[in-house]
Amino acid sequence: MGQPLESAEGAGPFVTRRTWRRPEGETVVWDSRRARRRGTLSVRGPGDTVGRVSTAGPGSLRRLRRLNAVASGAFVIGGALFAAGAAVSQFGSGDPLVSAWVYLVGGLFFSTGGYVSVLQVLNAPRHSPDGGFQATAGWRWWGYEPMRVDWLSTFVLFTGTLVFGVNLLDSFLEGLSVRQVNRLIWTPDVIGCVLFLVSGHLAFAEICHRPWPCLRSRSLGWWVVAVNQLGSVLFMVSALAAFTRPATGSLVNVGIANWGTLTGALCFSFGGVLQLFERP
């Protein structure tokens, strides 16, 4: 038997889909997101009009289910807490410490979800050169794989949650000047939003197999990415509205800042609910 012929697709330097044509006539398709989320490959025999699904080993599938449950749960809770913090800021007592504590706890859940998302990539089943799955490897707590778009997307997301953590911790500081507020609180907020947007764009590249977004309304994975990216856009709108004007010492628009955070957080929470079903 000869070696299977292999072709690759993707965005720029990133390979997001591989197709093997085996000498016996079978065609095997590895899709990056589907393989790491559901642990599946698509296999079609010669003359078949409908392909069948090939799955990774039971150990890999159990690992994927557990990681996905933790990540999705963390995003659901983190998003709900951020929405609650924004609601307290908009409708509550007006004490900034109350919303700051709610945001901080929510940020811990977001960071947990971001880190577990990286673990999902590192511990997902790997494809073999002949178009199958490799045996389940040992558990990995960290890894550096920048040429994988899924790793890069989740790593940027995790980094964004940590940058948001700087913003959340600095919000407890008192007696800051306007310049200090913008440097210590607003700037990390904007940087975190940019990182979230970059992560979402990379996630679109993975699921669309091209550098720009696509529309795939029948794909649950696409909806997870799209809803989360909408949340990132709303977070950025909120951050821009939260800039403190040096001349007046007031925010650009308090209402937009609070509502942007609230609606964006609900998007992330809803995205976490959707993600719960994107599993083996």
Pairwise CA distance, residues 91 & 93, whole Å? 7
Residues 44 and 144 in one domain: no
Segments forming the whole domain that contains residue 206:
58-276
Residues 135 and 171 in one domain: yes
Q: Residue 8, CB half-sphere, CA atoms under 13 Å: how many?
A: 10
10: left (phi over 0), alpha (psi -120 to 50) or beta: left
Residues 27 and 142 in one domain: no
Give yes or no for a contact between 156 and 198, defined as CB atoms under 8 angstroms apart: yes
Per-residue model confidence (pLDDT) at position 94:
66
Question: What is the average per-residue pLDDT within 67-93?
Answer: 94
Name the residue with higher pLDDT: 124 or 130. 124
Per-residue model confidence (pLDDT) at position 233:
98
Residues 141 and 169 in one domain: yes
Name the residue with higher pLDDT: 48 or 276. 276
How confident is the prediction for the chain on average, in pLDDT? 91
Residues 78 and 46 in one domain: no
**Amino acid code (one letter) for 101:** W
Residues 26 and 159 in one domain: no
Per-residue model confidence (pLDDT) at position 2:
54
Residues 153 and 37 in one domain: no
Confidence check: pLDDT of 135 > 80: no
Q: What percent of the chain has pLDDT over 70?
A: 94
Give yes or no for a contact between 232 and 203, defined as CB atoms under 8 angstroms apart: no
Number of domains in the chain: 2
HEC string for 180-223: HHHHHHHHHHHHHHHHHHHHHHHHHHHHHCCCCCCCCCCCHHHH
Q: Which of 16, 41, 2, 13 is nearest to 128 (CA)?
A: 41
Residues 18 and 107 in one domain: no
Confidence check: pLDDT of 193 > 90: yes
Question: What is the average per-residue pLDDT within 82-91?
Answer: 93
> What one-character DSSP code corresponds to residue 149?
H
Which of 33-47, 177-191, 213-227 shows the lowest mean pLDDT across its residues?
33-47
Residues 270 and 140 in one domain: yes
Model pLDDT for residues 209-260, shown as the tens digit of each residue: 999 999 999 999 999 999 999 999 999 999 999 999 999 889 999 999 999 9
Confidence check: pLDDT of 117 > 60: yes
Give yes or no for a contact between 154 and 196, defined as CB atoms under 8 angstroms apart: no
